[in-house]
Amino acid sequence: MRGLIVLAGALCMALAGPVSARTAEQTADAALRAAPVWDGHNDVPIQLRGRFGNVISGFDFHDTTNTGSEEAEGSWKGRTMHTDLARLRTGRVGAQFWSVYVTAELPEPEAVQATIEQIDVTRRLIARYPGEMALALTADDVAKAMRRGRIASLMGMEGGHSIGSSLAVLRQMYALGARYMTLTHSKNTPWADSATDAPAHDGLTDFGKQLVREMNRIGMLVDLSHVSEKTMTDALDVARAPVIFSHSGARAVDGHPRNVPDGVLARVAENGGIVMAVAYPSYVSEERRQWGAAIDAEVARGKALFPGDPDAARQHVENWKVAHPEPHATIAQVADHIDHIRKVAGIDHIGIGGDYDGMATGPDGMEDVSGYPALFVELARRGYSQSDLEKIASRNMMRVLRAAEAYARAHAGDAPIETAVAGTEES
């Protein structure tokens, strides 16, 4: 009798095996159905400013595949945009932080005005497509939009120059809809060091620390992409709500200073924050980063070899490129960053932050926003479960935003942090 039972059990298992086993594609698909991608950083708004002067009445966001221009070939205006509603759907994007970035080269008062203009054009873009997009100011708004099949659209400022070193402006940017601020972009602010500028403050100044406290109080996410390692650690010392890295990789995989070192990854886990894995090739591929540095060296070498002959100097660089083709970043390398973040910080602290329309191209197979499913298939092949993939896609980011909102609610009675403004003479 016992033998019959064992045989029957084995037969049931054999019959059930092929039914219950899922391919990597099926696991990824199930995860993205349950939890669409919540992308941490997309630069469509600066594309609207640079290409159209923010006049978007004739702009069709359903399909931007015709935006490349042969007349502008060789410049960013000559490239086809990475983002449109059709490709966002293909990419299974359910929520998007739109970057209201303006260049860090602007003087602070001009940057404040330009940022408000970028918030305005982003809100106008969202309003033009009510059937496909929905403005989201809270985690509940994101959840509602996803349930309705809309792309939940949030906004983030990229660089502290956008607030003109003013806590009052910070609060008003929040009132206008900005839900994160990257403390710096490519250059230092008067109160924080950037990853790609000569250190001036040894991290955050006292004002910078007050700024982090005020961001926590009002519920604005503190974004540490682009900042120096010391700024990262200073912010983590002060922060009482989870921080984010809206578009960064792991420095142990690619040594670019824009990426997150292991010591900081460990602290992100302690803080409850998230690192949203970037697709920017020089931050993804160490080979591509080294190639870029070599190009810079050859440009300098060409100028030294051919002073007064810029055509010969340019030809020197072109000859070098022919002999040394550009390495391409790959989906597997993006997955390597996610593997490393998981190893150091844990599965609960990983997200996705592509940086599309802020770079020339994404990795092979992820050239634009339509490529996210391929990344999730790669992760499934590496053994990530459906639950793991759902966390990476959007559940971790939802937890982080809810935690920031909960902290703000708990401190709603705290007085705003005040700093004196410059005095004015009586008229």
Catalytically active residues, by annotation:
41, 43, 158, 185, 226, 247, 355
Partners of 351 in beta bridges: 276
Total H helices, total E strands in the chain: 17, 9
DSSP 8-state class, residue 188: -
Least Cα distance to 231 among 264, 273, 202, 251 occurs for 202
| Single-letter amino acid, residue 102 | V
CA 345 to chain CA mean position, Å: 18
Distance in angstroms (rounded) separating the CA atoms of residues 116 and 327: 38
Neighbours of 16 (CB within 10 A): 10
Partners of 385 in beta bridges: none
Tokens of 39: 């992308």
Distance in angstroms (rounded) separating the CA atoms of residues 427 and 251: 55
174 and 211 Cβ atoms separated by less than 8 Å: no
Tokens of 388: 């793991």
Partners of 157 in beta bridges: 181
Least Cα distance to 372 among 81, 23, 40, 62 occurs for 40
Least Cα distance to 137 among 118, 116, 153, 115 occurs for 153
318 and 241 Cβ atoms separated by less than 8 Å: no
145 and 77 Cβ atoms separated by less than 8 Å: no
Distance in angstroms (rounded) separating the CA atoms of residues 259 and 46: 23
Give whole-number Cα distances, 274 to 114, 247, 310, in Å: 28, 10, 46
